[in-house]
């Protein structure tokens, strides 16, 4: 793998982290699902959704009166020596949650922010890099 190619791969994986947060916060759930492989796993602090259909059920169950913002930082992507098509990643996420119907003005903050970590496995597919698995773990709770 060339250095420019590896940098492009790293940027594509990092973009998945940011796109996940932006699409989730904007409730663009079809776009969220497109970031995952068909058989992906999403582990939200022990609550595991297996496959896109299960992830779709989790997304559909998110309360309409809760507004979230996920601020991603310290994104680190590392590539497997054995495969050019697999990578791992860690991302710190500052998480804010408020109440109030989306689109009706600023939500009321429902508590102090927390920090979670995304622990990811990425896979290069025919349509580009996708999230094969994401483990979300609490790092700092208020």
Contact of 36 with 42, CB cutoff 8 Å: yes
Band the pLDDT of 101: cuts 50, 70, 90: low
The CATH number linked to 8 is: 3.10.450.50
For the chain, the domain total comes to: 1
Which pLDDT belongs to residue 60?
Answer: 97
Alpha-carbon distances, residue 121 vs 7, 43, 113, 131 (angstroms): 17, 12, 26, 6
- 105 has a pLDDT exceeding 90: no
6 vs 61, higher pLDDT: 61
List, for residues 18-45, the tens digit of each pLDDT value.
999 999 999 999 999 999 999 999 999 9
pLDDT of residue 106: 82
Confidence of residue 103 (pLDDT cuts 50, 70, 90): low
CA distance 131 to 91: 13
For the cut 90, the answer to whether the pLDDT of residue 100 exceeds it is: no
The whole-number pLDDT of residue 112 equals: 92
* Percent of the chain topping pLDDT 70: 96
Reduced to 3 states, what is the DSSP secondary structure of residue 58?
Answer: helix
pLDDT for 102 beyond 60: no
The boundaries of the domain holding residue 15 are 3-140
Cα 139 to Cα 114: distance, rounded to the nearest angstrom: 8
- 43-82 pLDDT per residue, tens: 999 999 999 999 999 999 999 889 999 999 999 999 988 8
pLDDT of residue 104: 67
107: DSSP letter: P
């Amino acid at each position: 793998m060339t250095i420019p190619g590896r940098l492009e791969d790293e940027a594509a994986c990092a973009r998945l982290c940011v796109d996940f947060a932006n699409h989730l916060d904007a409730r663009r759930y079809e776009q969220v699902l497109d970031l995952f492989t068909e058989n992906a796993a999403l582990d939200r602090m022990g609550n595991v959704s297996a496959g896109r259909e299960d992830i779709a059920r989790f997304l559909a169950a998110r309360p309409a009166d809760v507004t979230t913002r996920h601020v991603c930082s310290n994104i680190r992507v590392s590539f497997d020596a054995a495969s050019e098509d697999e990578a791992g990643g860690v991302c710190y996420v500052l998480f804010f949650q408020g109440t109030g119907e989306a689109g009706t003005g600023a939500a009321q903050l429902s508590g102090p922010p927390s920090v979670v970590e995304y622990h990811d496995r990425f896979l290069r597919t025919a349509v580009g890099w996708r999230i094969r698995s994401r483990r979300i773990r609490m790092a700092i709770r208020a």
